[in-house]
Amino acid sequence: MLVSFSFAQVKEKTVITGDIMKIKKSGEKTIVEGNATIARGSNTVTSDKMTYYKNNSNVDAKGNVKFYVRDEDGSTIKALSQEAVYNTDNSSGQLWGGRPVIQYNLKNSTDTVYLFADKVYLHNDFEYADAEGSVEIISSSGTITSDNALLDKKTKSLFMHKNLKKPQVNAYQKDKEAEFTADEISLFYDNKTIQMNKNVEGKITMDTLEVKQ
């Protein structure tokens, strides 16, 4: 049986739905199990189980956690993990467990940018996100590996910098391949361009022609 409950907010209300709902401590704590969903504005979070704390607007989500956000330009962002905490007031949170991934689908494009990491921190309605540990960014034109990354929705970019090791780019097209490392690498995913700064090293292979730097 689907049950729902809503909490009024200053601008928007938070709506919680699920198969089983338990309200405890005079409504201060709500536990939802089975198809648990919490929605506020254009943001939706689903999981196998959720616990909502009314006093601080925090949500603990466990099992098949999925975040979904639709931008005004039609682009969509999805984030998946096994566990997460999320604040419905400021749309911020953390994802971990099960190799978290953010999927960014650009408007009017069939290409998807995937950002994998050990842990992801979300901020301000997905305006930006921090990724930490074994970061891997995959798109149709190549991969970037790093131990950190900052996703900025306003500039449509992913920024990586040297921490324990330098970020590495492996890019490819029909007739050439490229492998570079640098202290700073930025991927502008709307126009698929890469910018590298400081101590750039690498090579470009074009069929039988190899250019080294």
Q: What is the signed CA dihedral for 162, 164, 165, 167, rounded to 10 degrees? A: -50
- State the pLDDT confidence band at 89, using cuts at 50, 70 and 90: confident
- Give the percent of the chain with pLDDT over 90: 42
| Range of the structural domain that residue 60 is part of | 3-152
Predicted pLDDT of residue 44: 87
Predicted pLDDT of residue 32: 92
For 151-199, how does the pLDDT look when each residue is reduced to its tens digit (9 = 90+)? 888 888 899 999 989 999 998 777 778 899 999 999 887 777 889 999 9
User: Is 195 within a domain?
Assistant: no
For 5-34, how does the pLDDT look when each residue is reduced to its tens digit (9 = 90+)? 444 444 567 788 899 989 887 778 889 999
8 A C-beta contact, residue 82 and residue 64: yes
8 A C-beta contact, residue 103 and residue 78: yes
- CA dist., res. 159 & res. 108, Å (int): 24
- State the pLDDT confidence band at 46, using cuts at 50, 70 and 90: very high
User: Is 164 within a domain?
Assistant: no
User: Is 174 within a domain?
Assistant: no
For the chain, what is the domain count? Answer: 1
* CATH number of the domain residue 137 falls in: 2.60.450.10
User: Is 45 within a domain?
Assistant: yes
User: Is 92 within a domain?
Assistant: yes
User: Is 20 within a domain?
Assistant: yes
User: Is 176 within a domain?
Assistant: no
Token reading at 181: 């490392």
Q: Can you say whether the dihedral through the CA atoms of 172, 148, 73, 188 is positive or negative?
A: negative
Give the number of other CB atoms < 10 A from CB of residue 168: 17
Partners of 30 in the β-ladder: 23, 52
Residue 123 has, within 13 A of its CA and on its CB side, a CA count of 11
